[in-house]
Each structure stands twice: as C-alpha cells, then as structure tokens.
Amino acid sequence: MSYDFRAVELKWQRIWKEKKRYEAKPDERKKFFITVAWPYPSGPMHVGHARTYTFPDVIARYKRLKGYNVLFPMGWHLTGSPIVGAVSRLKGGDEKFIRLVKEVYEMSDEDIQSIKEPIDYARYFIDKSDLGYKRGMESLGLSIDWSKEFTSITPTYSKEVEWQYRKFLEKDLVTVGSHPVKFCPKDNNPVTDHDLLEGEGVDIQEFFVIEYECTIEEETIFLPAATLRPETIFGVTNLWLKKNSTYVIAKVDGKQWLLSKEAARNLSYQKSIEIIREIDSSALEGKSVLNPITKESVPIICADFVQTDVATGVVGSVPAHAPYDLVALKGSIAPKSVIEVEGYSEVPARDIVRKMGIKGEEEREKLDEATRKLYRDERLKGKMIIEYRDFYGKSVEWAQKAIEEELVAMDRGTTIYEFTKKPVVCRCGTECVVKLVSDQWFIRYSDEKWKSSVREWLKDMSLIPPETRNYFSNVIDWLRDWPFTRLVGMGTKVPWAKEWIIESLSDSTIYMSYYTIADVMNNASIEVDDDFFEYIFLSRDNRWKGNEIAERAKAAFSYWYPLDYRVSALELIPNHLTFMIFHHTALFKKEHWPKGIISLGLVILEGKMMHSSSGVIYPVAQSVNDFGADVTRFYLLYSVEPWQNFDWRGAEARGIARQLQHFYDIATEIIDMKKNGEKEGNEKEHIDLWLLSTLAKKMDAYMDNMENFRTRAALQIAFYDLMNDYRWYVRRGGNDPEVLNKLLERWLTMLYPFIPHLCEELWELQGHREPISCYLEAPSIDEGSLKEESYLITLFDDIKAALQALPLEPETIYIYCIPGEEGMIDEDFLKKEFSSDVSVQPLNRISHDPKGRAKRAKKGKPALYMEGRDGAE
RNA sequence: GCGGGGGUAGCCAAGUCGGGUCAAAGGCGACAGGCUUAAGACCUGCUCCAGUAGUGGUUCGAGGGUUCAAAUCCCUUCCCCCGCACCA
C-alpha cells in the first residue's frame, strides 16, 4: 500500500498541537532541558537549518522515551543590523536584492509592500512565509514547546538583558574605550562586511607612528612616519614624501604634523585634526629631520612610490630591510643594517630584490611579496645587531615592543589604524575609512580571574564532540575584550548609555534562562525590574517575594535550570558558546551553570556551501513537500554524525523515501498477521528466540549510541540492522506474529525519535491506545540461539563464497563438521537456499569425501565439498 | 602567521583512541538476475585484481620507521577545509 507521508504527518502534527503534547510543565519527574541557537529570521529556512533543529528534537524525543520531562523551546533572534539592512534595501529599491527576494525567497509584490518596518520582515520569515522558520519547524514535526516563544526584543526579555549588563557594570566586568571600525563617511555609520561593495574581509591594522622633528619656516613640525616595524628606526636613512604632492600642516592632538591631504582626511576619523595650511612636498625636499632615538639628522626625499592615501603619507626609509626603499634610493644612500638574519647577507633587502629579479619601484606586486617575505623571516628568525642599550642580540619582536614603549614614553610615538587593503567601498559607493569609535563599551573577557573560573567550569562540562574541549580551551586563552555596543540595528539599549545598542552576540548569552519563565511572562502583564531577576534567578529576597508571577517564574526556573545541553554550531565556539559560559559563571549560582554543549557541523548542498544571499539553498518547505518530514529527518541524521559536515544530495533523499515506504509495508504486514490471528501463542522456536535476542542486543547498542548523541550510529542500528535481522528471520522461515509484533513494537520505539509521524501512525495501527513510551526495555537474551545462528550464518556465507568462484550448479553440498555441531545446521534451509541436496557429515561419520576436504574442518567452521549437476565437480 | 579538523575503494562515509577478527560497515550510483503486462517499486546477487572451491595478490594522500602483524603507533612531507572577533 502506498503510504501518504504528508497526510499522516499533518494528522499527527495536528494531534500533537491539539493535545499540547510538548508543552512542558514542572512536575515530579527528572527534567531535561535542551536548547538550540535561536534563528535569525532574515531569509528562508533551508535544510541546513533543518538539521540544526531536528537533531535536538531527536534527542528531546529520545529523552522523553527514557522518562524525562523535557523542555525544548524556541525563540527568535532579531538583534542586529542585517534585517534592518534588508528592509532598507527593499525600500531603497536595490534591484539585485529585490530579484533575490522574489525569485529565491518567493516574496510577492504584495508581501514586499506589506513590509514597512524591520519587525515586519522578521515576522515574514518567522511565520508568514511558507519558507519561514516557524512553519518549517512545524512541518518537520519538531516537538517544540511553543508556549515559551519570545524574541530578543521582547520587552520583558530586554529587562533581563539590562539586568545582566547592570550586573556587569557593578562587578566591573565592562569597561569603556575606543575601537576601530570600518566606517562610511556618507552614511555616517559603521559598516559591516555585508554592507560592502568592495573590500570584504579586509582587516584593520594598527600602525605605529614615529614622529620625526623638523623645522619648517621656523616652526617645529613633526613628520609622522607610519610603520609596522618600529625597530628598524635604527636603520632609517631618510624619510619619503610623495613627489609633487600636496601635503598639509595640521594640528593633531595638540602637535603640528605634516600629513598628506588624504591622510589628514582619513585620520580625522581617528584623531582630532585641524588643518592649518597646505604645502607642496617639493618645498620640503632636502630638508632634514631628527631621528628621535638615534638623534641623527636624515634628509627628506620625494619619490613616486609613496601612496598618499595610505596611513600618513610620510614614510621612513630603511633600505637595508625594506625592498621598496632600497630600490627607490638606487644606491644614492648606503643602507644601514640593524637586523641579522640567517640565510641573508648584511643587506637582506638587496638579497631578496636580486633573487626576485626586481628592476624598479614600479614592480609593486613583486615588491609587496618581497616585503612580506623579508618581514616574516626577520621577525621569526632575526636578531638585532645594533649597539643601543641592551638591544644587541635581542629578537625583533622584543625590540619592536621596547622601541614602541620608549617612543611613547618620550612622546614621539603613537598609533593609527589603517585597512590592510584598499579600497574599501560601501554599498552606497563611498570609500570607507577607519573610524576610531570612542566611548565604545567592552566586556572584559580578558579578565584573568574571570577566565580562570571559566576554565575550571569547562573541566566539568560535557562537550560533544570531545575534540571541541581543546578548541574551547584555546578560545578562552586568547579571548580579548569584546566591544558589545553598536549604533545600528534592533536590540536592547545599554541601560546607562541609551544611544548604544547591545549587539547581537552579547544579548544572547543567557537567554536560555528566560525560556524557563517565558510562558509565565507571556501571560502576565507586569513591569519587571532588576529586583525581579535577582529574586527569581538568585533567590535574593526583595519586594517580589510572595508575588504570584514571581513565585511561579522562580519555581519554573529552579526546576528547569541549569541547561542540560546547548546545541549549536562548531563555528560558534570562538564567540557565542564561550560567551555563554563566561556570562553564566559571572551571573548565576554554580548549580545553574550550563552542563553540556553539542557543536554541530555544517550542511552543504550537493557539494556547495548554502548561502541565502547567493540563492544556493534548498528550503525546508521544498524538502518536506518533495519527500515529507520523516524522510527529511531520517536523511538529515543517517549519513554522518551531527558534528560532521553533511552534504545534502537529492538522490539519496529519494532513496530514503523508498526505504521508509518499504518499512511501512513490512510493518503493516506484521500488524495484519496479528489481526488475522495466525499462529498465536505457539511455543517459541529457535529462530524466534534468535530474533528477540538479537533485537535485545541491538537495543543495547542503540541506547549506548543515543546516550552519546551518535544519532547516525543509532539510526543505522535501529533501521538497517534490524531490517537485516528481520529479513534473515523471514528467510529462515520465521513467521510468528507475536514475535514479529514484539519486534515491531521495539522497532517503532527506537525509530520514533527520528521518524515520529510514521511511528505514531504504525503504533496506532498496531492497536496501542497510549502514546509511544517506555518500551525501551529489551527482551531477554538467549545466548545459545545467538551462537547457533551465527554458526549457521558463517556456514551460509562460506557456501555462497565457494559457489561464487565455481561455475557449477551444485547437486549435493557435503558439510563436514566437528561432531556435536551438526545440530546447528539447518539442512532444510540450506537445501532451499541453494536448490541442492545437503549432506551433513560429522567427522566421526563420514561416508563420502572424494577430495579429502573433511580434514579442513575447524571448530565453528565446517569444511565443504560440492558436486555439480553434470557429475563433474 | 596562530589555532582547530581532515585526506579510506566510482561518490558520500564508518573504522584510527584501545594494532591482528579489515579487502575494510552502511548508503548512493553502476551492473546482472528474479518478480511483474510493465516499472524510476520490490527482492537477490555483484561492484580493487586474479581464480573451476570457502583462496591468493595489491590497497586506506606520499615517503620512511617500529612490530610476528599497521588504514590504525612513531617520524618526515604534500594537499584540503574551518575560525582568528563586531558577522548573525
């Protein structure tokens, strides 16, 4: 009978919803609380997301089978700028984006018209669109408790975020400082990589600026040379300015600097700059400047290769170690070596220029490469060879730091920021600059005390897969202060600085705690404050004590918390997952710190990365439509373990549909046998005992895998292994309806977490009134039947293998076995299987052995001899 | 550069921690046969090479080593993927 996946799935989804099957309330049972990263609904839900959410569903369903009271909730992450950006692109008539939205996201003109605010766009992808997340999750049959749904901008939740950050302020875990960002001068806003036309992935680099004093028209002017290698200051032979170019004299943080015109503009986003007058570089050629460290006087020289739009437009020249400088000087000034490095002569820059065959300063690509290579070698292996204080013999890295400190101390050094690659262009067409955002707030993850408490807790956490432990530990080590405030996007405002918004990763670190109380809060209309959270989370007595809402929330929190498992992605370990641990340790009592983290791998589509923005996606809605929810779920879990990367291939999904259909057919046959009352209550034969015993073994293995989240291994056992066992049973003549129904009962239970609709349906057809549960106890194991059957299977395989190498049709198969083993050989079965006569001859009763094969018989492995139909062997 | 993961038969992917039972699970694909009016459905078989007997040979990125024995342990080397922070 053809099984209608969709019809049955919709039926059960309706029943689950009507009976509120997955709404979890505290009770006397053991609890299991699992959460998964809430989606950011900025586009369609695709099969990659489907795996992320199906995996915890499988675990949740399994835990329910094991008798746990399970909470598996869901919410929506709306914080941040992409949704806001999408809406402005929609409204601004961005053609490329509108085409994507229409063709891939299936938005109609009306849909687009209806979107006025960012929240409308988010809502569209939550539950309005067929491709939306909530619909996708429901169509997959996820056992989510929707009564606890909320978003990251739900007002009461924002109150919790505010509480969290005020606590941080109190505990001195936040600090204010400055931070460089990519910035569009026209939009007057920071830009993210997604907002860029050009320059995606370009980094911001910190340059050190050395101020060289110079007297110009009787004024003291500083020439700020930007460099990545301040230690080479000992080898500076001259300064470079761009030939015939307009420079300016400007007041920068109280001092007079000479800057290129472009630099003055760019740097005005980092420092206070007041331009005094312009001056052409030619007017400065030949003047000399004072090296602040060596006190030497070196000349200013103009050259073409200087880029006025990079850094300051003033460059220190170190011909011994900088290929550009060496080439540009053309030997007019002798290089001064300051670093000695293995594999190079006294003037390393000359070596590499010769080796790479660089002819002139116009060969920029080669010069850039030479610069990179030389810098790497010198930094890694170089030693300082200058006689200055204790510098001689020290590493380049050490010297760099020492010089920086010294220059800063003598007020001749500072830092500026610059892109690693230019240009960086905003979507609006304007070239971006590096802006130094002052009064940017940071979370002080660098705090050693905080780090060590996180490290301590990490030891006790269950981390899946185990390799992630190391990863976490490294992340904790190199985690720096995190700027958590933004100027754009949706989110919660920083309570003490309302012009700032708390950015998306930073407002989602402890939201799991809110799930525990979300249903209470969703149905209450009260104004909460910090005290409220102090009371329910930390049991600090205050005016909320005795308040009905607060008491209910408190009870729910105490019951559900801590979080048992957080399900997320491998790529979130360097930020979100680690932040979560940090924040919990800082805010909650130790008994409420998260117990485990499962990090999932990514999903690719037919070998390609899926990106909603590129349109390379396979939406969940389509998969469910094409194959059904159970097939989609099964397929997402059967081929690799959750933490491995998964490649979605349509051809394989089709194969699964056939297999599940087949399973359905077998199951209904078994059910019909029972209905027809065939052979009820007979004494159990060997093969019946074998089936139940092997089933019991498989159940053990299944549970061992499920407990360790190896869903793939568990599913392989629960489906394919049992399918093979079933086939073998039937092949061996097994047909006891009672035994088969027992098998099916367990089979359905084991498969239920993976393909719940199909299992519920068959469970009902089998005549059960109650929902599937508690059928995970295995039948007893009859070791004897297992042993006997495996003897026969080995024999069967041997005969098959031998026959394969022979071109004959066997007339008689002679089997020579150790005396006593003959009882395990089912002659009738072998006769039937090989359409041949079978003669079993124990070694002490041999009657026919023309080739003397009997002597090859071993314990557990009989010897064989076969005679063909034509008389010939 | 730093950190993490990985390279297994036509493809995907187990196995590697705890060497042997590994020519190496499972799936997909291909092929053959069966069942059928027919089938993209199902069943059986087969898919490194050789073979008139359950076997032999050569394989697990490359090279070397340890061992009676290595896909599995050690060393060297090549290649691929991911993260490195304001992106959710």
Among A328-337, A727-736, A758-767, the least confident range = A727-736
The counts of H helices and E strands in chain A are 29, 32
Q: Which residue is nearest to nucleotide B29 (CA to C1')?
A: A651
Q: From the CA of A695, how many Å to the C1' of B28?
A: 27
Exposed (0-12), middle (13-18) or buried (19+): which is A372, by Cβ within 10 Å? Answer: exposed
The residues with which A837 forms a beta bridge, in sequence order, are: A812
Q: From the CA of A844, how many Å to the C1' of B53?
A: 23
Nearest nt (C1') to A571 (CA)? B83
Nearest nt (C1') to A666 (CA)? B42
Q: From the CA of A86, how many Å to the C1' of B22?
A: 54
Nearest one of A36, A76, A37 to A58, comparing CA atoms: A36
Q: From the CA of A89, how many Å to the C1' of B42?
A: 53
Nearest nt (C1') to A574 (CA)? B83
pLDDT for residue A697: 82
Q: Best-predicted range by mean pLDDT among A66-75, A84-93, A480-489, A761-770? A: A66-75
Q: Angle at Cα A97 formed by Cα A96 and Cα A99, nearest 5°?
A: 70
Nearest nt (C1') to A193 (CA)? B87
Longest dimension (CA), chain A: 124
Tokens at A760, concatenated: 């519920």
Q: Which residue is nearest to nucleotide B5 (CA to C1')?
A: A467
pLDDT at A205 over 70: yes
Q: From the CA of A801, how many Å to the C1' of B48?
A: 17
Confidence band of A872 (pLDDT split at 50, 70, 90)? very low
Read off the pTM. Answer: 0.85
Q: From the CA of A653, how many Å to the C1' of B40?
A: 14
Nearest one of A748, A727, A579, A561 to A660, comparing CA atoms: A748
Confidence band of A183 (pLDDT split at 50, 70, 90)? confident
Q: Which residue is nearest to nucleotide B46 (CA to C1')?
A: A804
Backbone angles phi, psi at A44, to 5 degrees: -65, 155
Q: From the CA of A853, how many Å to the C1' of B68?
A: 29
Nearest nt (C1') to A795 (CA)? B54
Nearest nt (C1') to A643 (CA)? B5
| Angle between helix A468-478 and helix A578-587 axes, rounded to 10 deg | 70
Contact A848, A841 (CB under 8 A): yes
Nearest nt (C1') to A816 (CA)? B54
**Span A99-119, pLDDT tens digits:** 989 988 999 999 999 999 999
Element (H, E) at A257: strand A255-260
Nearest nt (C1') to A480 (CA)? B85
Q: Which residue is nearest to nucleotide B51 (CA to C1')?
A: A805
Q: From the CA of A721, how many Å to the C1' of B25?
A: 11
Q: Which residue is nearest to nucleotide B25 (CA to C1')?
A: A716
Q: From the CA of A444, how many Å to the C1' of B3?
A: 22
pLDDT at A144 over 90: yes
pLDDT for residue A869: 60
**Span A241-293, pLDDT tens digits:** 999 999 999 999 889 999 999 999 989 889 889 999 999 999 888 899 999 99
Nearest nt (C1') to A865 (CA)? B53
Q: From the CA of A187, how many Å to the C1' of B22?
A: 64
Estimate to the nearest angstrom the gap between the alpha carbon of A655 and the chain centroid: 28
Nearest nt (C1') to A81 (CA)? B88
**Span A712-746, pLDDT tens digits:** 888 888 888 888 888 888 888 888 888 888 888 88
Nearest one of A291, A181, A304 to A225, comparing CA atoms: A291
Q: From the CA of A73, how many Å to the C1' of B29?
A: 40
Among A164-168, A230-234, A461-465, A600-604, the least confident range = A600-604
Overall average pLDDT of the A461-470 stretch: 83
Nearest nt (C1') to A201 (CA)? B87
Percent of chain A with pLDDT strictly greater than 70: 96
Q: From the CA of A859, how many Å to the C1' of B69?
A: 24
- The larger pLDDT score, comparing residue A360 to residue A134, is at A134
List all nucleotides in chain B with at least one atom under 7 A from a protein Cβ: 1, 3-6, 12-14, 25-29, 41-46, 51-55, 82-88
Q: From the CA of A164, how many Å to the C1' of B31?
A: 65
Q: From the CA of A638, how many Å to the C1' of B25?
A: 14
Q: From the CA of A2, how many Å to the C1' of B37?
A: 20
Q: From the CA of A665, how many Å to the C1' of B42?
A: 11
pLDDT at A698 over 80: yes
Backbone angles phi, psi at A32, to 5 degrees: -140, 120
pLDDT for residue A791: 80
From CA A613, how far away is CA A617, in angstroms rounded?
9
Report in angstroms the alpha-carbon separations of A869 from A364, A809, A873: 84, 6, 8
Confidence band of A873 (pLDDT split at 50, 70, 90)? very low
Confidence band of A699 (pLDDT split at 50, 70, 90)? confident
In whole numbers, what is the pLDDT of chain A averaged over residues? 86
Overall average pLDDT of the A574-593 stretch: 94
Kindly provide the ipTM of the predicted complex, given to two decimals: 0.81
DSSP A290-326: E-TTT--EEEEEEESS--TTSTTS-EEE-TTT-HHHH
Confidence band of A655 (pLDDT split at 50, 70, 90)? confident
**Span A312-326, pLDDT tens digits:** 999 999 999 888 888
The residues with which A434 forms a beta bridge, in sequence order, are: A182
pLDDT at A871 over 50: no
- The larger pLDDT score, comparing residue A615 to residue A73, is at A73
Nearest nt (C1') to A479 (CA)? B85
**Span A361-398, pLDDT tens digits:** 777 777 877 787 787 777 767 788 888 888 888 878 78
pLDDT at A67 over 80: yes
The residues with which A212 forms a beta bridge, in sequence order, are: A223
Confidence band of A593 (pLDDT split at 50, 70, 90)? very high
pLDDT for residue A341: 79
pLDDT at A354 over 50: yes
Q: Which residue is nearest to nucleotide B41 (CA to C1')?
A: A658
